[in-house]
A = this chain, B = another copy of it.
Amino acid sequence: MLLENINSPADVKALDAALLPALADEVRQAVLNRVSVHGGHVGPNLGIVEATIAMHRVFNAPDDKFVFDVSHQSYPHKTLTGRAFGFLDMTRLDEVSGYSSPAESPLYDTFELGHTSTSIALASGLQKGRDVMGRHENIVVVIGDGSLSGGEAFEGLNVAAETGTNIIIVVNDNEMSIAENHGGLYRNLALLRQTKGSAELNFFKAMGYDYLYVEEGNDVYKLIEAFQKVKDVDHPVVVHIHTLKGKGFTPAVENKEQWHWSMPFDLQTAQLRKPSTSESYTDLVGQFLLAEMKNDPSLVAVTAGCPSVVGFTPKLRAEAGPQHVDVGIAEGEAVALISGMAKAGAHPVLNVNSTFLQRAYDQIAQDLCINNQPAVINVVMGSVLGMNDITHVGFYDIPMLANIPNLTYLAPASWEEFVSMERWAIAQTGCPVAIRVPGGAVVHSSDSFPTDYSTAPTARLITRGSRVAFIGSGASVAWIEGAAEILREKGIQPTIISQTFLTSLDEPLLTSLLPDHQVVVIAEDGAVDGGFGQKIAAFYGSSPIRVLCNGVKKGLYDRYSYSALLAQSRLTPDTLAADALRALQQ
């Protein structure tokens, strides 16, 4: 095996050129080994194998710097930079992450990357920094066509061109983002592919770039030739390479969207090893929206590059027709779009993962909330506390959203509560509403919920007791109900409250606890710093009630275990009950 002897890029350079296609086959097989057992990004990595080998053959990493956009296509790079064990040794798969990581490879991985469209902007900093420091290394970016729709990619392109010195942007054009590509730019990419790069009308040239087209983007020799042409260039250049997403694994070529990322699967049958049979909030939300659309032709579901966030498969998207818009990876645009649509009288509902909504902070504050448009944002947690890669953590949404004026942010604790909130949010015309789609397993409830949240209390009193009050929201309501059960076994009948509005306290309810409660324990469904608990603590600041805020401490978390994080954050029924009892005895 060749790959076993590749410990660094020097070994790639030393290899007989005739063996490079064989190396590519091995890298491809290594990627498949890993993703079929461990899960991960399939298509993006299979498509970029030859380009990665060619990069390491021509450029001199680690002196030359590589920046992979999103870095979900950096697996081949990992196999060539001392981390093949994470792909070949089935006992060591967990030792490499799914994204580029300087913590894992200080020499070869330049940035921790996971959000889209950041690579050129980061590289424009490497470019300017290099110039100021008087060095001359090559700065090489790999960015997929789907990532080009994000505003940060455009801003980076614009500034790197103005800087005017060496930067090499490899545009990996596989005619696909996660779902299909969208937008005006993609017609130009198609024209460039059709004309083999010769069309006069050229987005990259218009942006000030020198330009090179490589039709055979999976031919390692053609790629080496192209990279040799641009190595050490003294100005910005785009190398537009046409690749086949999923190359080498037929199912991934035939269904690019499904095989962008996959749970572990059988390589022979291409079937998931543990097909999910349980219901998910994701699917329920998508089906709910589709059903509602039929009664309301002005209801439009919006997604930003990830229609799967609400289970919108191509089939369901076809069903929705013009009542679904995917803006590509452009969360800022998505928020401005729904504000404009609401202004025009339509009923837009944006569906977006919590971690990616961070990209639209200013649009939420300015375009949506200052303009007070009655659009709806479903903030999808996906898993309990969100995804668990360092760049995808979803539990900072409450600190981010709770302090934006004019926003109503709601946290349902069950599917039925979500439905009642969502129905109201879509129909009302008073204010922008975000709704936190809970993480984890679907919870059902037979309680009755308000039909009009504009007049409903901003918290839901589940049980009125005394001495101790537990306050949770969303998923954490189940945790405090468990804690309350433990207290009842000890003869204490605690109050249980669901903080349904994350953007305002229920002051009458909180005040009503004063006479007969000594302790309030808050269970954040996420971050404790900037969470709703600190607002409750401030509300009780001049009262004798003791307030404990439990939640995830501020910090970076990478590939954590949910259950361990919940225990460490004292969010389990046991820890919440123990803290309440201890405070009661103080």
Determine, out of A199-207, A226-234, A250-258, A486-494, the stretch whose residues face the partner at the interface. Answer: A199-207
Q: Does A96 contact B (CB under 8 A)?
A: no
Rounded to whole Å, the gap between the CB of A137 and the closest CB of chain B is: 9
Interface: A340 (CB within 8 A): yes
> Does A573 count as interface, using CB distance less than 8 angstroms?
no
Given A152-B363, A209-B184, A336-B156; A344-B538 close (CB under 8 Å)? no
Q: Is the CB of B156 within 8 A of A149?
A: no
- Alpha-carbon separation in the docked complex, A366 to B116 (Å): 10
- Binary per-residue interface labels of chain A (248-268) against chain B in the complex, 1 for a CB within 8 Å, 0 otherwise: 000000000000000000000
Interface string of A360-402 (1 = CB under 8 A from B): 0111011100110000000000000000001100001001101
CB closest chain-B residue, reference A406: B556
Among the stretches A123-131, A409-417, A420-428, A476-484, the one at the interface with B is: A123-131
| A346 CB-CB contact with B under 8 Å | yes
A182 near B: Cβ within 8 Å? yes
**Bound Cα distance from A184 to B298, whole angstroms:** 40
Q: Is the CB of A346 within 8 A of B403?
A: no
The answer to the question of A188 belonging to the interface, with a C-beta cut-off of 8 Å to chain B, is yes
Contacts A159-B183, A207-B188, A403-B530 given: A125-B365 contact, CB under 8 Å? no
Partner of A367 from B111, B342, B404 at Cβ < 8 Å: B111
Binding site for B on A (CB under 8 A): 102, 110-115, 118, 121-133, 135, 149-163, 182-188, 200-203, 205-209, 236, 297-298, 300, 322-323, 325, 327-328, 330, 332-333, 336-346, 348, 358-359, 361-363, 365-367, 370-371, 390-391, 396, 399-400, 402-406, 527-530, 533-535, 537-538, 540-542, 544, 546-549, 554-556, 583, 586
13 A-B pairs within 8 Å (CB atoms) are namely: A113-B366, A124-B336, A124-B337, A125-B341, A126-B341, A151-B151, A158-B183, A158-B184, A158-B328, A184-B209, A201-B205, A361-B400, A365-B396
